[in-house]
Amino acid sequence: MSEIVLDIQSLTKTVHKQKNIVEDVSFQVKKGEILGLLGPNGAGKTTTIRMIVGLIKKTKGTVLINGHDMNQDSHVCKEQIGAIVENPSFYDYMSGWKNLQQHARMASNPVSNERIEEIVRLVQLEHAIDEKVKKYSLGMKQRLGVAQALLHQPSLLILDEPTNGLDPKGIRELRDYLRELTKAGISTLVSSHLLSEMQLMCDRVVIMEKGRLIDETVIGDLNEADESAAHVVAVQCGIGQQTLAKELIETIPGVELLELEGDRTLLLQMQEDKIPFMNKLFVDAEVDVFAIEKKKTSLEEKFLSLTARENAEDTQEVQ
């Protein structure tokens, strides 16, 4: 099996009047990796996922699953994928258990009742698994969809907004289970609008805007500092010393006071290599320094910055 489980190359979807709703998108998902697919509404995330799993035809591009081409070996590829795309569909007149059994019968490899029971416990549907699905809430149907996607132990999970309808405890349990799956080498492509949750769940994220891929970020690198870059730094000083600290800050070239928080904290924008000099300046002036904290960059901040920049560039092109 290839170390690259999913490899999409130049994926494009063109609709009427030659409009590209997905344009030249390429990325890979490695074995045992969780990759997040981010983007605002209309960015092309669901269209990309639907092309990957073969629900709609792509205009051009290649989809490889463990080295197999979806065009040439679609049956082999689909055997290795478990997916929830948009809202999962069920037989409403059947129970949740009967739905899972029916799905298990369609799997190429046998799925035991023990495996079904294990998945039911994972998604916390024990109390309702024998009830008809038409009685399920949206959240319960979403949990049943996750269970259905996991039944045949695929090498690649593709989950489109899998946390819809789940409460915080359910989201945490799903995240923990996906992490357990990575230990067994199973890969996941997941789209979601919960940016903070994606930062906790994913190893990498790719960001789409208006059908194009605009960024790829390794989550582990997101908070690593670049010494030459300006960062937001919070400095907590003694009570009553905020004014003196502010005056000292004004004497340091390249350090900008952004905000005063409460009566003890200053938010500054500065390069990391200026922190030791600032700290010594405070100590020499007998300003008590209780904490110096470099604020971490969140995935949400980066996402909003990138999409805002992309929109600004498009506006300039139109003008």
pLDDT value for 11: 95
Euclidean distance between CA atoms 184 and 66, whole angstroms: 16
pLDDT value for 188: 93
Euclidean distance between CA atoms 182 and 180, whole angstroms: 5
pLDDT value for 6: 96
**Where exactly are the structural domains of the chain?**
4-222, 230-288
Percentage with pLDDT > 90 across the chain: 41
Q: What is the pLDDT of residues 240-295, one digit of tens each?
A: 899 999 999 999 998 888 888 888 898 888 888 889 999 999 999 999 999 998 77
Mean pLDDT of the chain: 85
Euclidean distance between CA atoms 249 and 267, whole angstroms: 11
pLDDT value for 47: 92
pLDDT value for 224: 57
For the chain, how many residues are written?
A: 319
Q: Are 252 and 277 in contact (CB under 8 A)?
A: yes
Q: Are 238 and 288 in contact (CB under 8 A)?
A: yes
Q: Are 266 and 246 in contact (CB under 8 A)?
A: yes
Whether 303 has a pLDDT exceeding 50, the answer reads yes
Q: What does the block give as tokens for 185? A: 């080498």
Q: 207 or 162: whose pLDDT is higher?
A: 207
Q: What does the block give as tokens for 225? A: 């500092």
**Three-state secondary structure readout of 57-109:** CCCEEEEEECCEECCCCHHHHHHCEEEECCCCCCCCCCEHHHHHHHHHHCCCC
DSSP helix/strand/coil, 185: coil
Provide CATH code, domain 230-288.
3.30.70
Assign domain 4-222 one CATH number from 3.40.710.10, 3.40.50.970, 3.40.50.2000, 3.40.50.300.
3.40.50.300
- Is this structure's pTM higher than 0.75? no
Q: Are 310 and 23 in contact (CB under 8 A)?
A: no
pLDDT value for 4: 93
Q: 211 or 169: whose pLDDT is higher?
A: 211
Q: 95 or 40: whose pLDDT is higher?
A: 95
Q: What is the pLDDT of residues 99-145, one digit of tens each?
A: 999 989 887 778 899 999 988 987 788 999 999 999 998 778 878 88
Q: What is the pLDDT of residues 13-58, one digit of tens each?
A: 998 878 899 999 999 999 999 999 998 888 899 899 999 998 899 9
Q: 301 or 133: whose pLDDT is higher?
A: 133
Q: For residue 1, what pLDDT band results from cuts at 50, 70 and 90?
A: very low
Q: Please, how many CA atoms are within 13 Å of residue 123, restricted to the half-sphere of its CB?
A: 28
pLDDT value for 213: 92
